[in-house]
Amino acid sequence: MKKINPASLKTHSFGHKIGQILSTALRAVEPGQAIRRFVYLEGALLHIAEKTYGLDSLERVTVLGLGKATQAMAESLLDILPPHIPTRGLLIPKQAFPSSEAGFEVCAGGHPVPNQNSLIAGNKALELVSSLTERDLLICLISGGGSALMTSPHPKIGLENMQALTKALLSCGARIDEINTLRRHLDQVKGGRIAESAVPAKVAGLILSDVVGNSLEAIASGPTAPDPSTKADALNILKKYQLAEKIPTSIVTYLENATETPKPNAPLFSRVQNVLIGSNYLAAQAGLEEAKSLGFHTKFIGDTWQGEARETAGKLCTFLQEDFPRPFCMIAGGETTVTLRGNGCGGRNQELALAAAHELDGLHDAMLITLATDGEDGPTDAAGAVVTDRTLQRANTLGLHYESFLANNDSYAFFKRLDDLIDTGPTGTNVNDLTFLFGF
Over the stretch 235-257, which tens digit does the pLDDT of each residue have? 999 999 999 999 999 999 999 99
Q: How far apart are the first and last CA of the chain?
A: 27
**What pLDDT score was predicted for residue 389?**
97
**What pLDDT score was predicted for residue 212?**
84
One of 3.40.1410.10, 3.40.1010.10, 3.40.50.10180, 3.40.228.10 is the CATH number of 31-278, namely: 3.40.50.10180
**What pLDDT score was predicted for residue 430?**
85
**β-strand pairing of 328-334 with 297-300:** parallel
Ranges in the chain annotated CATH 3.40.1480.10: 7-28+281-439
Which strands form 297-300's sheet, in the order they lie side by side?
Answer: 297-300, 328-334, 433-439, 366-372, 384-388, 421-422
Ranges in the chain annotated CATH 3.40.50.10180: 31-278
CA-based torsion, 384, 390, 393, 394: positive or negative: negative
**What pLDDT score was predicted for residue 417?**
98
What is the domain class of 7-28+281-439 according to CATH? alpha beta
Q: Per residue in 383-433, pLDDT tens?
A: 999 999 999 999 999 999 999 999 999 999 999 999 999 999 988 888 999
Below-50 pLDDT ranges, the chain = none
**What pLDDT score was predicted for residue 101?**
85
**What pLDDT score was predicted for residue 47?**
98
**What pLDDT score was predicted for residue 223?**
97
Cα–Cα distance for residue pair 367/176, rounded to 1 Å: 27
DSSP letter (8 states) at residue 144: T
For residues 289 and 332, the answer to whether their CB atoms sit within 8 Å is no
**What pLDDT score was predicted for residue 93?**
95
**What pLDDT score was predicted for residue 102?**
85
